[in-house]
């Protein structure tokens, strides 16, 4: 009898092992299928993104070629670039918005251009360098007595540091002048003209503006 019991127990152990093997073999197969599906999905996504980028590049370059032609319809081209930015990948979205705003400004649609620069400046998916550039361009084209205080406030961060610092400081000095604060404008221009870290052209303009104010 003990031998029979041992045989039965051994048979049960073997059966459990076979069941476990079948179970884990199924799990392994399922896991392998998931891995293959994930790899295939990733490759498909990369292919799709590549096609999107290629289409955006072709559309962007085609619009630029049209813009370079004599008599080009700049407002229409700016509108097409703005529409392209709605569906293009991040890099071309940035380029399309910058160029669309420039074309709109050149066509006399300053408010439209300001809106597009604001749109890019607020785009968290864009490179911070270009977001700051968009804000700087907004400030340049928004300069007026009515908006001088707003320009000063919005460019304060750029003027505190970064690659656009000197340009932002120059615009803030002009904004102070436009809102009637000549003393603050002179102070900012004097600091900028003496700052050897600032580009030479900006320092020279600051000196000329300062000379005109003091003369």
The structural domains of the chain, with segments of one domain joined by +, span 70-130, 143-215
pLDDT of 176 reads: 95
pTM to 2 decimal places: 0.72
- Alpha carbon of residue 205 to chain centroid: 30
Closest among 88, 96, 176, 163 to 133, alpha carbons compared: 163
Instruction: Tell me the per-residue pLDDT of 2-61, one tens digit each, with 9 for 90 and over.
Output: 443 344 344 444 545 554 445 544 544 445 445 555 555 545 434 445 566 677 778 888
pLDDT of 84 reads: 85
SS3 for 122?
coil
Angle at 56 between CA 83 and CA 105, to 5 degrees: 45
| pLDDT tops 90 at residue 140 | yes
């Amino acid at each position: 009898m003990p031998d029979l019991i041992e045989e039965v127990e051994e048979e049960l152990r073997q059966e459990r092992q076979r069941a476990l093997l079948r179970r884990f073999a199924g799990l392994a197969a399922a896991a392998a299928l998931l891995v293959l599906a994930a790899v295939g999905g990733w490759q498909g996504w990369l292919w799709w993104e590549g096609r999107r980028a290629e289409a955006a590049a072709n559309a962007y370059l085609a619009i630029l070629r049209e813009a370079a032609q004599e008599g080009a319809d700049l407002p229409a081209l700016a509108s097409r670039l703005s529409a392209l930015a709605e569906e293009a990948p991040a890099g071309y979205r940035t380029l399309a918005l910058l160029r669309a705003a420039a074309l709109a400004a050149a066509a006399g649609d300053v408010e439209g251009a300001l809106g597009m620069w604001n749109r890019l400046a607020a785009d968290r998916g864009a490179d911070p360098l270009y977001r700051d550039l968009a804000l700087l361009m907004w400030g340049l084209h928004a300069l007026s007595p009515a908006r001088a205080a707003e320009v000063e406030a919005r460019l304060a961060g750029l003027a505190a540091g970064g690659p656009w610092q000197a340009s932002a400081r120059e615009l803030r000095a002009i904004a102070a002048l436009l809102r009637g604060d000549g003393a603050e404008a002179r102070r900012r221009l004097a600091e900028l003209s003496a700052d050897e870290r600032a580009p030479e052209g900006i320092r020279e303009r600051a000196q000329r503006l300062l000379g005109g104010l003091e003369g």
